[in-house]
Chain A
């Protein structure tokens, strides 16, 4: 068989590329991505934030007073400016702001990525179903998408908090995901509709491929890159929604997120007295949003050939 013969040549890079079309398109994409300044800045910033998230486990190990939620410095009773003992100062209870900031990075990634993955999976599944099945199911799903799309997610979570009381962090993530799939599903549906008309799908049908084979083998690989692009935007919207919710005082009281930190500054009335406490969480939320946004724009260039450098000659 040809595939067995090809195995021997795995060291040859061309063959590796040929054997793994996804890897191939990834490498192609990477070479375009590398040229984008915005994309590089975004990626570097994100790596820094990821490092912050990883480092968030360190301070509580050094001394229990560095625990972001429960650690209280016995020598301090009120908020204090940055110093040797607390690099970014402490909050109104004497908790270390730097360790809170690091823990916030972890929460942001956790919330952003899990909500984004869930909403993308939902959006791709619904979009492909609508596009592939057509007719009644298509109309039904797309009307549902229209309806959910216009709803302001933050206020929806608020009204749910009014009905159900305190929401924990995973419920919040789930609600964000449930209300953030329509944008993705519309794009994926459009893509599926156009793919359905292509000759290779016709060929697969004639060859007797089942619906599930056509969907998973032929349509899905073609829509996934687009879904991946949307993921970066979904990550930011999830992070912002959680932060805003926490800021308003409806976050999970058991987690230290950047929104929660801002809420503490605001609600305890320290915003005029303690700029060292007000600035870091806001800068972090804004920067992480910006970096995902830049990453998304750079990926947009990779996926949309019209945006590439070469036709910028005119």
Chain B
């Protein structure tokens, strides 16, 4: 019951924050030097089309009315047309969203699980060689510069060894072939996902490993671990069933806290591997001066970040019964 109240309160907060972001973006757009019309209206349009779009976006009205039109357009899903694709922005970002979610959630879950597992092992062998290797390995991979790591991955595994495709998410011959079924298509996507996924994994698992290690060391000092030892339980049981589940909780929090960092990394990875996701679309649209698309991609990413934060907090409350809101 309390948890439900807490979720409700957090969601109200998310809505307020999102409103603030919407408003700030609106104001920035109007306050920026230059003509806002030229930013929203494709320079290649005919004057009649341009005028129609201007009216639709309310760019010919006073600021207050413009803001209302902007909000109305937002809630009815009118983000304008992408200059580059010439399609409604909504269609573009909806088609990119699943690709981003696929790559992103897989990489986060994989790196958190491996990080937790290796962190447990490092803490168990504290001060020994295993621990040093794992800790230093985690530090080094975590601090690698992500775009550079991505380029090295492509250089090594796609160019030198030729094991994986250089870019993209699908091979056209597989997808255009009417005979290839769902399994063949999924395998094709997975094949393309190996390099971007490994890049994100290498960058992220180290952070989780280090957090798990130190949290595990703290947990092992707790009284209930002493009790478990006094009962004569096996060390393995103590480690895996008594210490690890509690020690893993801070990792969940850190997934939430590092979400912004991970999203940046996701956008960079998508760009280098030309993975057709939202992050790449944002980078691409900014470089093409495609403002409507840039704005919509940014808002979608902001919404995803805000909601995921709530999800992580709720997950934490669910996992740790000691937390009461």
Using a CB–CB distance below 8 Å, which chain A residues touch chain B?
Answer: 38, 143, 146-147, 149-155, 158-165, 236, 240-241, 243-244, 247-250, 262, 265-266, 271-272, 275, 278, 281-282, 285-286, 289-290, 293-294, 297, 307, 312, 314
Contacts and interface: CB of A to CB of B under 8 A. Distances in A.
Contacts of B294: 158-159, 162
A149 B260 contact: yes
Nearest to A291: B143
B291 A162 contact: yes
B261 A162 contact: no
A262 B148 contact: yes
Contact of A244 (B20, B147, B309): B147
B29 A163 contact: yes
Q: How large is the interface on B (under 10, 10 to 19, 20 to 34, 35 or more residues)?
A: 35 or more
A243 B146 CA distance: 10
A154 B155 contact: no
Nearest to A159: B298
Given A147-B17, A240-B145, A247 B268 contact: yes
Contacts of A312: 126-127
B323 interface: no
B267 A247 contact: no
B271 A282 contact: no
Nearest to A314: B221
Contacts of A164: 32-33
A139 to B, nearest CB: 12
B199 to A, nearest CB: 13
Interface stretch (B51-59, B77-85, B100-108, B278-286): B278-286
A248 B264 CA distance: 12
Contact of B295 (A159, A161, A243, A265): A159
Contacts of A281: 148
Which secondary structure dominates where chain A touches chain B?
helix
A250 B282 CA distance: 13
27 contacts: A147-B20, A150-B260, A152-B264, A152-B305, A153-B264, A154-B267, A158-B282, A158-B286, A159-B295, A160-B28, A161-B286, A162-B289, A162-B291, A163-B291, A236-B143, A244-B264, A248-B283, A249-B287, A262-B145, A262-B147, A262-B151, A266-B272, A272-B155, A282-B145, A286-B140, A294-B139, A307-B214
Contacts of A162: 285-286, 289, 291, 294-295
Contacts of B39: 163
B32 A278 contact: no
A286 B145 contact: yes
Interface of B: 13, 17, 20-21, 25, 28-29, 32-34, 39, 126-127, 139-140, 142-149, 151-152, 154-155, 159, 214, 220-221, 257, 259-261, 263-264, 267-268, 271-272, 279, 282-283, 285-287, 289, 291, 294-295, 298, 301-302, 305-306, 309
Contacts of A147: 17, 20-21
Contacts of A272: 155, 159
A297 B294 CA distance: 38
Nearest to A265: B151
A278 B155 contact: yes
Q: Which of B145, B154, B306, B309 has the most A CB atoms < 10 Å from its CB?
A: B145
B28 A153 contact: no
B214 to A, nearest CB: 8
Please provide the 6 A-B residue pairs with the shortest distance between their CB atoms, ordered closest to farther. Answer: A282-B148, A154-B264, A285-B145, A290-B143, A289-B143, A152-B263
A149 B294 CA distance: 21
B261 to A, nearest CB: 7
A154 B264 CA distance: 6
A154 B17 CA distance: 19
Given A286-B144, A293-B143, A159 B309 contact: no
A282 B127 contact: no
Contacts of B309: 150
Given A159-B295, A162-B291, A286 B305 contact: no
Contacts of B154: 271
Contacts of A247: 147, 268
Contacts of A294: 139
Nearest to B160: A272
Contacts of A307: 214
B286 A159 contact: yes
A265 B148 CA distance: 11
A163 B145 contact: no
Given A150-B259, A249-B287, A266-B151, A155 B143 contact: no
Contacts of B289: 162
Contacts of A153: 260, 264
A154 B265 CA distance: 9
Contact of A151 (B221, B295, B305): B305
Nearest to B262: A152
A293 B147 contact: no
Given A271-B151, A282-B152, 4 more contacts: A147-B17, A152-B260, A160-B28, A290-B143
A155 B264 contact: yes
A160 B13 CA distance: 24
A257 B32 CA distance: 27
A250 B260 CA distance: 19
B169 to A, nearest CB: 19
Contacts of A243: 145
Contacts of A282: 145, 148-149, 151-152
A314 B5 CA distance: 43
Q: Which of B29, B34, B260, B305 has the most A CB atoms < 10 Å from its CB?
A: B260
A82 B210 CA distance: 39
Contacts of A155: 263-264, 267, 279, 282, 298, 301
Contacts of B33: 164
A152 B265 CA distance: 10
